[in-house]
Amino acid sequence: MPFSISQEVRDVNKKKVIKVGRSGAKRKKRILITAGAAGVFLFVSIFFLIGYLQQRSFETSIAEIQAEALTVMENKDEIKPRPADYSGMDVETLEPGTLNVNVQDQISQFGVGTIEIPSIGLKLPILEGITQANISIGVGTVKPNQSIGKGNFALLGHYMTNSGLLLGGLKQVSKGDEIHLTYFDKQATYRVVESKVIHQSEGKYMLDDPEEPHYLTLLTCDGSRVGTDYRLMVRAELIE
């Protein structure tokens, strides 16, 4: 067969076209994959950004009502004992949808004092009883008829990942730190002697024990995981 340069050129060009076509398809596929990955990354980034901004807004709201509650408590003229709810039945995770408290009314009815831990910059109002409204703006008394210098004076509050909100900073408390308490017309200073994680079933840490000395006990959730069965317990003894 006579040698045909034109046929060979056509064959070579055909192979080039096929090769270029395949290369172009691969390049197009890579571009689509890259674009898809970028789109997913952008979507996820926007999702997390919205969540972050919502959380910041929520924390700002808590900080504002916490500060308002403390101011109202410190300016309260008269503190009178009144019936309160200690059941904790309505207590739930603190979320934007559950943050609905009339601060003035709540402090007016149930505000009974303040707690301050200078080492962690904590100062909160104390409210009588354990309800969602009470512990959304401060800490609540666990039992009725508690008093400074007698039995186990127990307070409970919400944990927050932001250490400046509610009992979020309690994990930073160290043995020897002082706690200042005002309750009705009495004032006292305590020193931290113990801090540990307990199971929620260990209710003895909230109860009075005739064989135990007087303690101040603070309780909050251990960490931010919703529904955790563990609590952070801080105990302090009266020094003055």
Q: How many Cβ atoms sit within 10 Å of the Cβ of residue 50?
A: 10
Instruction: Say how far apart CA 127 and CA 29 lie, in whole Å.
Output: 64
Q: Which of 200, 201, 193 is nearest to 234 (CA)?
A: 193
CB 233 within 8 A of CB 218: yes
Residue 158 annotated in active site: yes
Q: Which of 158, 180, 199, 214 is catalytic?
A: 158
- What is the rounded CA–CA span in Å between residue 184 and residue 79? 6
Residues in a beta bridge with 233 = 196, 219
Residue positions counted in the chain: 240
Burial category of 131 from C-beta neighbours within 10 Å (exposed 0-12, middle 13-18, buried 19 and up): buried
Is 199 marked active-site? no
The residue type of 165 is L
Token pair belonging to 144: 């009725």
Amino acid 176 reads G
- What is the set of active-site residues? 158, 221
